[in-house]
Structure 1
Amino acid sequence: MPRPIRYQSRYSLPASELYATLVDREYLQARLDRIGGDNAQLLDLSSDADSAKYSMRQGVSQKYLPGPIRSFLRGDLVIERTETWRLARPGHYDGTVTARVKDAPGSMGGALRVADIAGGSEFVLDAEAKVDVPLIGGKIESAIAEQVVKLIEREARFTEEWLAR
């Protein structure tokens, strides 16, 4: 059964400025350089004021993985992640995120949102992790969900630092 992943963070700038930052090549590359892990790479990016799509590769050394994932994989965790964004209405951007683990029967997918709120904007991730492995799939899904939240928290801290420059 897929494991839900939910995360939200708030920023003091309007959604249009947060969106512009989240899909900016320089920002994405700096974020990957800082927290993307081994062999991180921005694979593709196209963006404008109303829509964006980018793909990236992120890595996590096996030594940092929780036991259930480490016992299942035969090496480092390599994640290929794609995000799409579109302007739904002024001050509100909707998106999707998909991620696949290389050489593993697991995936993550869900919805993204950046929207104006009182005093700024809010980023929301509402997704789920799914692993098609009998008996231990649930444990791996839980571990993946936990690791995704930790990664998104690190990305949010990086975004706050980037915006404060």
Structure 2
Amino acid sequence: MSRRIELTLTYNAPAAAVHSALTNRDFWLGRLEKSADNGVTLDHLNGGDGTVDVSISQVLDKDALPALVSKAVKGDLVLTRGEAWGPFENGQANGTFTVTTTGLPITAKGSAVLTDAGAQSTLTLEGDVEVAIKLIGGAIEGMVADQVTDILRRDQEAIEGWVAANA
């Protein structure tokens, strides 16, 4: 069983500017530098011609998790997040996202579409979260889905900040 993720975000910047940030190597390296104290590391960052494929990982403190989740963790809990964006063409760009963990059988994956909306832009994400743990997986899926959407909302703030600073 899985939990559906559907989220629409409105950016206070044109889609071309948002896409430019998402596919900019310096944007990702700057984010990693700001997150280094939280144990975030770069797995890979590939791109060119208005595309990007990036993967970052973070060791999570299982003691900071809800008891239901922390009891199910086996070994270290590492969250790996991937994002890929194609070129910006005809007022839009298509992307994908993935989240996997070690220590818990969690996966999330989906698609994203970034489109122009006048002086703003819209990012529409759809995907699924699956936690393959008998009996409690469904309860954890809801928590993970909430965390994924929180991460995406924080990404929005970082992207808008980057666009404003680099306009």
Which TM-score applies when normalising by structure 2?
0.86
Query: What is residue 134 of structure 2 aligned with on the other side?
Result: 134
Q: Is residue 74–residue 104 contact of structure 2 (8 Å, CA) maintained in 1?
A: no
Query: What is residue 43 of structure 2 aligned with on the other side?
Result: 43
Relative to structure 1, the CA distance from residue 149 to residue 77 in structure 2 (aligned partners, 3 Å threshold; closer, same or farther) is: farther
Query: What is residue 150 of structure 2 aligned with on the other side?
Result: 150
Q: Is residue 37–residue 61 contact of structure 1 (8 Å, CA) maintained in 2?
A: no
Distance 1:43 1:91 in 2: 30
Relative to structure 1, the CA distance from residue 77 to residue 149 in structure 2 (aligned partners, 3 Å threshold; closer, same or farther) is: farther
Relative to structure 1, the CA distance from residue 37 to residue 79 in structure 2 (aligned partners, 3 Å threshold; closer, same or farther) is: farther
Query: What is residue 10 of structure 1 aligned with on the other side?
Result: 10
Which TM-score applies when normalising by structure 1?
0.87
Greater mean alpha carbon deviation, residues 126-135 or residues 56-65: 56-65
Tell me by how many angstroms 1:76 deviates: 5.5
Show structure 2 runs of 5+ residues with no match: none
Tell me by how many angstroms 1:158 deviates: 2.0
Show structure 1 runs of 5+ residues with no match: none
Q: Structure 1 counterpart of 2:97, which letter?
A: V
Q: Is residue 69–residue 143 contact of structure 1 (8 Å, CA) maintained in 2?
A: no
Q: Is residue 76–residue 102 contact of structure 2 (8 Å, CA) maintained in 1?
A: no
Tell me by how many angstroms 1:134 deviates: 0.9
Relative to structure 1, the CA distance from residue 90 to residue 98 in structure 2 (aligned partners, 3 Å threshold; closer, same or farther) is: same
What are the Cα deviations for residues 35-75 of structure 1, in whole angstroms up to 9, with x where unaligned? 57732112211222342211111233224323322221146
Query: What is residue 92 of structure 2 aligned with on the other side?
Result: 92
Relative to structure 1, the CA distance from residue 35 to residue 142 in structure 2 (aligned partners, 3 Å threshold; closer, same or farther) is: farther
Q: Is residue 38–residue 61 contact of structure 1 (8 Å, CA) maintained in 2?
A: no
- SS of corresponding position for 1:90: coil
Tell me by how many angstroms 1:8 deviates: 2.4
Relative to structure 1, the CA distance from residue 32 to residue 120 in structure 2 (aligned partners, 3 Å threshold; closer, same or farther) is: same
Distance 2:37 2:137 in 1: 24
Q: Structure 2 counterpart of 1:145, which letter?
A: A
Tell me by how many angstroms 1:136 deviates: 0.6
Q: Is residue 36–residue 59 contact of structure 1 (8 Å, CA) maintained in 2?
A: no
Query: What is residue 117 of structure 1 aligned with on the other side?
Result: 117
Distance 1:15 1:116 in 2: 5
Query: What is residue 26 of structure 1 aligned with on the other side?
Result: 26
Query: What is residue 66 of structure 2 aligned with on the other side?
Result: 66
RMSD: 2.1
Q: Is residue 37–residue 58 contact of structure 1 (8 Å, CA) maintained in 2?
A: no
Provide the aligned length of Structure 1 versus Structure 2. 165
Tell me by how many angstroms 1:147 deviates: 1.2
Tell me by how many angstroms 1:118 deviates: 2.4
Between the aligned residues of both structures, percent identity stands at: 28
